[in-house]
A and B are shown apart, each in its own frame.
Chain A
Amino acid sequence: MNSTTMNSTLDKLRAILRRDLLTAIRHRSGFVVTLVGVFTELAAFYFLSRAIGPGFRPNGVEYFPFLLVGTGVYTFFVMSAQAFLSAVQEAQQTGTLEVLMTTSTAPAELVILSSISAFAGNLVNLLVYLFAGVAVFRAAIHANFFSCVAVLILSLAIALALGIAAATLQVAFQKGSALLWLLGSGLWFLSGTMFPIQSLPRPLELLARVVPLTYAIDGMRGALLEGQSMTAMAPTLAVLAGFGVVLLPLALAGLSLSLRRARQDGTLSFY
């Protein structure tokens, strides 16, 4: 990529981030509702862990920090994909999707830049969630910064693939929400969000081990709660990288095909 192309791409990213930031700021009530939601959810988990008692220590850590990281990473995944899907649905409903597809920006570039914006917002939410858990509800953490960043970056690629897959189904069959609902409830159950996957019956535990989110949550718990080094986490990081390398190109190819088919059938703005 030469410097002119790089500058042009950064300029487009800036425009997309600015659009989403201005829209979010002008939706003031949405921001307040999100903040109230964060504190209510954390309070519920805090009192749940107190009710269960200090004797329950999944993977050797206290239950509240275990829940904090599990639900935080799960919410980040699903809400990022949801935000991305909502952007596509809204663009279909308002008619902007067709117009966006006639700009000088290639559809794949547009999708990736838009997703960065969707993820940036949810990354802020995740950080607020974790910070509130630690600062207000006194969750005990022992973080390794570099391991946290490595897990986050690799998890992002997988979350991006999930979001693009939902957008693909939305463009192709107008059914992106159904996929997200299915994945959301399935992932919540199978990824060890609220309890260790070892508690599941053996067949379900094996199924949980092929779910990428399981490794993202497990990795973040290791990095944030146990301070594991990148060397110690190498197997988990390798699995996350493998999922990203396979899923992301597949999702992009699927989206490219669905956009082409929609342009052929004239269904780009159907919803």
Chain B
Amino acid sequence: MDRVVFESVRKIFRHRPALFNWLGRERGGETIALKDVSFSAGRAEVLALLGPNGSGKTTALKLISTMLLPDAGSVLVGGFDARRNAGEVRRQVGIAVATERSFFPRLSARENLEFFAALDEVSRSERARRIKEVLRDTGLEEQADTLVMKFSSGMYQRLGIARALVKRPSVLLLDEPTRSLDAATTAHFWSTIRALARQQTTVLLATHNFAEAAAIADRLLLLHRGELLADRAMGDGESADALRAFYFRMTGEIDEAMGAIHRAGSAP
């Protein structure tokens, strides 16, 4: 059975001008963030939602986490509807959001994790050991007792991932997880993610980094302006170069690597 199912999901953000806007130029309107998107993800699968800024990747993750509700269609996690059974869905999902600093600044990393672990109903007997594990997995052991107000953006990012992992979610949502990480931490992080997938965790990763998505994911979902353009399994007979060309052609983005080769070739 698929663990995450998107069925014809539509999400629209409506812009309401401020109540007293006589002098302003703010106008109402709407942005269609997702247009009837359908896909599914099974156990032990690593799925990359790939697309440029504004393609709807983060919206898709927020819908799965119940942070947002769909305007049409349904989102199912472990058979539970995210609208009708939000509580059951939240028990299964861990999300590491791109927003850094979503922590309590005057608490240490360990104290923050203890707080969120309590709200996520991680048992008291298991909590200390579990927090130690996730701090080790994210390379934050040495900063465990540092107030997070003193953290760098990379450390915040790692702590966000630790928070998502602490409740042992069956579905892990990662939004640009390696954006502020150094190369060594990134490599260690991806090996942790692959290990989680081997333990039957479903991982959904939102990224605009094609190389990273192709290296880590079992499947790539290509999103562009709220539409699902392609759903490709890696190693499906299609070469990485062909997929890469397809991605950059469909999104109209510039392939920096190819551009660099081209510039080098045409240089005098």
Chain A positions near chain B (C-beta within 8 angstroms): 8, 11-12, 14-16, 18-19, 22-23, 26-27, 94-96, 98-106, 110, 173, 260, 263-266, 268-269
For chain B residues 94-117, which have a beta carbon within 8 Å of chain A?
95, 97, 99-107, 111, 114-116
Would you call A103 and B90 a contact (CB within 8 A)? yes
The residues of B that contact A173 with a CB separation of less than 8 Å are 19
Question: What are 22 A-B pairs with beta-carbon distances under 8 A?
Answer: A11-B124, A12-B118, A14-B118, A15-B114, A16-B115, A18-B111, A19-B115, A23-B107, A26-B106, A96-B103, A96-B104, A98-B99, A99-B116, A99-B163, A100-B119, A101-B66, A103-B90, A104-B119, A173-B19, A265-B16, A266-B62, A269-B99
Asked whether B103 lies within 8 Å of A22 as measured between CB atoms, the reply is: no
Tell me how many residue pairs across A and B have CB atoms closer than 8 Å. 93
Cross-chain contact A263 with B167 (CB below 8 angstroms): no
For the complex, what is the distance from the CA of A11 to the CA of B62, rounded to whole Å?
A: 27
How many B residues touch A, CB cutoff 8 Å?
A: 39
B170 shortest CB reach to chain A, Å: 13
Given contacts A22-B111, A102-B90, A266-B13, contact A27 B106 (CB under 8 A): yes
Nearest CB of B to A170, in Å? 15
- Which A residues lie within 8 Å of B95 (CB)? 99, 102
Quick one: given A94-B102, A101-B66, A102-B90, are A12 and B107 in contact (CB under 8 Å)? no
Which of B13, B87, B97, B119 lies in contact with A95, CB distance below 8 A?
A: B97
Chain A residues whose C-beta falls within 8 Å of the C-beta of B124 in the assembled complex? 11
* B194 interfacial contact with A, CB 8 Å: no
Please determine whether B102 and A99 come into contact, CB atoms closer than 8 angstroms: yes
B99–A8 CB distance below 8 A: no
B223 at the interface (CB under 8 A from A): no
Q: What is the CB-to-nearest-CB distance from B87 to chain A, in angstroms, rounded to a whole number? A: 6
Do residues A94 and B106 form an inter-chain contact, with CB atoms below 8 A? no
